């Protein structure tokens, strides 16, 4: 395949292939289950979670600030187990695993995730079956919407913006990718994204 024909697909993970790793719904459920003050937890979470996502602190250090800043009647491991349990597979994941087998594209994740959650989700849901590489915020010390994370991903792929396509469920991140010259789509449904992928596959075959 000529370099000019190269196509790279960049995919977000949370909200497309899996539920969000530690989204507000999960935090609300945690507050009910563990009898926490959700407003306090959420304020502290918003203050420090970005630091966790770029790999500057561990999950335990995040929890020290957000949860175990008070004496609790539950243990740390039970709370961590709950965090992990909130990750569930979405229908798009199995479709992408199957579609990748003969799609003719390399597929790379570009996602914001803390180290422990990222490692767990890759292993638990066998994400190597759909991704050729992972550009995760915790590993590269940048998080979306920093344009640098897409630029790094393109450098890893050795591809120009015109050779890349990006999918994300958040419009802000789609807009940022588009500003870099990347063809980007907002994921809103399984059927909608499937149609886009099939169209891209047909376009790719025509260039060969």
Q: What does 169-204 look like in DSSP terms, one character per residue?
A: S-HHHHHHHHHTT-EEEE---HHHHHHHHHHHHHHH
DSSP state of 145: T
Are 164 and 180 in the same domain?
yes
Are 102 and 40 in the same domain?
no
> Does residue 166 fall inside a structural domain?
yes
Of the residues 86, 115, 133, which one is the last residue of a structural domain?
A: 86
Are 80 and 130 in the same domain?
no
CATH of the domain at 176: 3.40.50.1000
Which is nearest to 97 in space by CA: 87, 85, 107, 88? 107
> Does residue 93 fall inside a structural domain?
yes
> Does residue 3 fall inside a structural domain?
no
Ordered per-residue pLDDT tens for the chain, 208 residues: 344 466 899 999 999 999 998 999 999 999 999 999 999 999 999 999 999 999 999 999 999 999 999 999 999 999 999 999 999 999 999 999 999 999 989 999 999 999 999 999 999 999 999 999 999 999 999 999 999 999 999 999 999 999 999 999 999 999 999 999 999 999 999 999 999 999 999 887 776 6
The 10 Å Cβ neighbour count of residue 8 is 22
Of the residues 52, 86, 120, which one is the last residue of a structural domain?
A: 86
Are 120 and 182 in the same domain?
yes
Are 34 and 56 in the same domain?
yes
Residue-level pLDDT at 1:
39
CATH of the domain at 60: 1.10.150.240
Q: What string of DSSP letters covers 103-135?
A: S--EEEEEE---HHHHHHHHHHTTGGGT-SEEE
Which is nearest to 182 in space by CA: 207, 145, 208? 145
Find the domain containing 47 and state its range. Answer: 24-86
Residue-level pLDDT at 4:
47
> Does residue 30 fall inside a structural domain?
yes
CB proximity list for 167: less than 8 A, separation 6 or greater: 9, 10, 11, 12, 16, 184, 185, 186, 187, 193, 196
Are 30 and 42 in the same domain?
yes
Are 71 and 100 in the same domain?
no
Are 58 and 159 in the same domain?
no
Residue-level pLDDT at 208:
60
Output the CA–CA distances (angstroms, integers) from residue 26 to 23, 105, 127, in the order listed: 5, 34, 21
Into how many domains does the chain fold?
Answer: 2
> Does residue 96 fall inside a structural domain?
yes
Residue-level pLDDT at 122:
98
């Amino acid at each position: 395949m000529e370099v000019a024909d190269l196509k790279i697909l960049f995919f977000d993970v949370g909200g497309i292939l899996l539920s969000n790793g530690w989204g507000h719904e999960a935090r609300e459920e945690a507050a009910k289950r563990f009898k926490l003050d959700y407003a306090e937890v959420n304020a502290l979470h918003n203050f420090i979670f970005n630091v966790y996502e770029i790999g500057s602190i561990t999950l335990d250090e995040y929890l020290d600030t957000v949860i175990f800043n008070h004496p609790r009647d539950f243990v740390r491991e039970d709370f961590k187990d709950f965090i992990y349990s909130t990750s569930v597979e979405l229908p798009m994941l199995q479709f992408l695993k199957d579609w990748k087998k003969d799609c003719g594209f390399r597929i790379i994740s570009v996602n914001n995730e803390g180290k422990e959650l990222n490692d767990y989700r890759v292993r638990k849901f066998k994400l190597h079956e759909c991704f050729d590489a992972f550009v995760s915020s915790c590993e590269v010390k940048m998080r979306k919407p920093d344009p640098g994370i897409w630029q790094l991903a393109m450098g890893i792929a050795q591809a120009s913006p015109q050779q890349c396509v990006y999918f994300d469920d958040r419009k802000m991140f789609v807009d940022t990718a588009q500003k870099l010259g990347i063809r980007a789509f907002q994921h809103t449904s399984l059927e909608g994204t499937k149609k886009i992928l099939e169209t891209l596959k047909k376009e790719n075959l025509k260039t060969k």
